[in-house]
Structure 1
Amino acid sequence: MSAMNEKAQRVIFVTGPSGAGRSTAINALEDIGFEAIDNLPLSLIPRLLDGEAPRPMALGIDARGRDFSPEGLLAMQAQLAGDDRITSELLYLDCQADVLLRRFSETRRRHPLSPDDAPGEGIAREMGLLAPVRSAADLLIETSDLTPHDLRAQLQRWFGAETGQGLAVALHSFSYKRGLPNGVDLVLDCRFLNNPYWQQGLRKLTGLDRDVSEYVARDSRYEAFIDKVTDLVAFLLPASVDEGKAHFSVGFGCTGGRHRSVAVTECVARALAQQGWRVSIRHRELERLGLAAETSRIVQTGGETQS
């Protein structure tokens, strides 16, 4: 990815397996203010970008395209990385195979890579084809548990506001029992902290409740942990800006993803916001379990939040 600068033409390539939400993402980016073009052949991209463009662009790249190949897309990325006039990013929308199969079954659509066979064969073929692209993605969004509204909200947080620092910072809480979140740059384990789950009065609460956050904070190791983590992340963020990254995400995990990881995520987000970073928060397990009406939001300077 080329270095971020204010004068460069910003181009986001949007791709991923069929059914993962590419069309929804393209429409969302268009609503945000991007000039959006879907199903664009790779061979037309150089001519499209030749000249001054008034707005940032979002280009949907479909594995079904007549000249698509993973090597071709990655070569295009490498070519643009050497062009000071352009800042390119590769956004990959990922999804679990069983969820894709359910989506195709619900819509009764044929898979484009296996129109005469069962959708599962096409899904496996396409995910294998896109594996090198997935590995090279600048930003990976896992859509298995996201509604179209959720996906649009995430894209709004990533791309909808000018931060003035060229970097979008995202903090995630999660449960180790359900696996690591995709696309995070750094993962930190909170399971060594005192667990509110074993306190009868706290078990049904979450890390968003004051009683839980105060219980976790009473652990003698908590304050030092928060300070060291905040210092580490605050050290890495400017380095990521210098590298030209547009996104940096951190995952905080605990056993159930309801108490300790949530409390730590909230505390670190406030600390980074006090330093002037604009931080988005997502509590994956609270969203999945419906334990909070709105867990995904942005923490701004001074600790204020917005949905």
Structure 2
Amino acid sequence: MAQESLQTTAASPPQHILLVTGMLGAGKTTALRELEDLGWESIDNFPIRLLDRLVGTDHANHSLAIGFDCRTRGFVPAEIIERVKDWVDNDNLSITTLFLDCAGGELERRFNETRRRHFLAGDLPAASGISAERELLAPLRRWADVLIDTSDFSTNDLKQTIRDQFQQTAPQQMTVTVSSFGFARGKPPTADLVFDMRYLDNPHWEAGLREQTGLDTGVGEFIERSAVFASSFDKIRSLLLELLPHYAEQGKAYVNIAFGCTGGRHRSVYTAEKMAQELRQGGFSPTVLHRNLQSRAEDLVEGSQQP
């Protein structure tokens, strides 16, 4: 019966299935709601044993997001992976697994803030439940196609990331993200390629530019005046235009290119925007994200002197 339920006509487009899982408190509910807003049909905590009846039936013309976690009935990671492997062999299905992760300390803070008890903690502190859950979910984390770490994310950050990753229910090409960030606020854990722009003169120390950002004309002109900017930018552009087609050939669905500077407001922002323009001319359609653009310009972050 399960096998019959996965059969669709050869002429039908594949059904897109997104499996959404991860640590409790990492943002699964927010992700599913955002997917629903994007047009995905979303179902949360559906019993694992009934998944075969759900996949490939009357939902064949819809993109289906299925959420599950350690609270879901029949949750056994190894068995789920084997079940998904069976689906992957079906040409009428397009399967992606999304894992939402988060640092333990941040998860503890979220549980304490909401006064929720961790499902696996019992009478012990939330940290005990988080540790047990992380061990339980380790196979799924390794198996997942897409990993999003929400440790430093606000709710809006996660919504934006979900939109960028999944707004096209049937993407025909590799998704490229060009992002900026500040090293002083931590490196992005999911970046595939990281370029450090701190060798450029810092607009933070230029009169009239500190409160501006890399989106402002004055900051861009200041950065462009650097003797090394043009040549180094051209080399990075050439490297990316050479590498990206090879990533696509290897079947990589998502590539995140990150440009960093000290605070994440000037040099990295300008370079990311300019590089995205160049990649569009090269035939790609990158999404641009600026992680620390709204952060305050602070000497404590930038340091007491250049760069």
What TM-score, normalized by structure 1, do the two folds share? 0.83
- Partners of 1:202 and 1:169 lie apart in 2 by 30
Secondary structure, counterpart of 1:104 in structure 2: helix
1:118 to 125, 147, 155: 125
- Partners of 2:255 and 2:226 lie apart in 1 by 28
- Partners of 2:179 and 2:73 lie apart in 1 by 38
Counterpart of 1:140? 147
- Partners of 1:162 and 1:19 lie apart in 2 by 25
Residues 273 and 124 of structure 1, relative CA distance in 2, 3 Å threshold: same
Residues 164 and 46 of structure 1, relative CA distance in 2, 3 Å threshold: closer
Pair 1:249 & 2:222 matched: no
Greater Cα shift, 178-187 or 126-135: 126-135
Counterpart of 2:301? none
Counterpart of 1:76? 83
1:130 to 110, 130, 137: 137
Pair 1:21 & 2:27 matched: yes
Secondary structure, counterpart of 1:88 in structure 2: strand
Q: Which amino acid aligns with 1:42?
A: I
Counterpart of 1:301? none
Residues 162 and 128 of structure 1, relative CA distance in 2, 3 Å threshold: closer
The aligned runs of 1:119-198 (5 Å cut-off) are: 119-161=126-168, 165-198=172-205
Residues 162 and 70 of structure 1, relative CA distance in 2, 3 Å threshold: closer
Residues 132 and 184 of structure 1, relative CA distance in 2, 3 Å threshold: farther
Q: Which amino acid aligns with 2:51?
A: I
2:45 to 39, 48, 65: 39
Task: Kindly state the Cα deviation for residue 290 of structure 1 after the two structures are TM-superposed.
Answer: 9.2
Greater Cα shift, 194-203 or 92-101: 194-203
Aligned length: 286
CA contact (8 A) 1:163 1:278 kept: no
What TM-score, normalized by structure 2, do the two folds share? 0.83
Task: Kindly state the Cα deviation for residue 265 of structure 1 after the two structures are TM-superposed.
Answer: 0.6
Counterpart of 1:216? 223
Structure 1: which 5+ runs fail to align? 1-5, 292-307
Residues 113 and 235 of structure 1, relative CA distance in 2, 3 Å threshold: same
After superposition, the CA RMSD in angstroms is 2.5
Task: Kindly state the Cα deviation for residue 177 of structure 1 after the two structures are TM-superposed.
Answer: 2.5
> Based on CA coordinates, which of the two structures has the bigger radius of gyration?
2
Secondary structure, counterpart of 1:170 in structure 2: strand
Q: Which amino acid aligns with 1:55?
A: H
Pair 1:273 & 2:280 matched: yes
Secondary structure, counterpart of 2:85 in structure 1: helix
- Partners of 1:196 and 1:33 lie apart in 2 by 42
CA contact (8 A) 2:56 2:93 kept: no
% of aligned pairs identical?
41
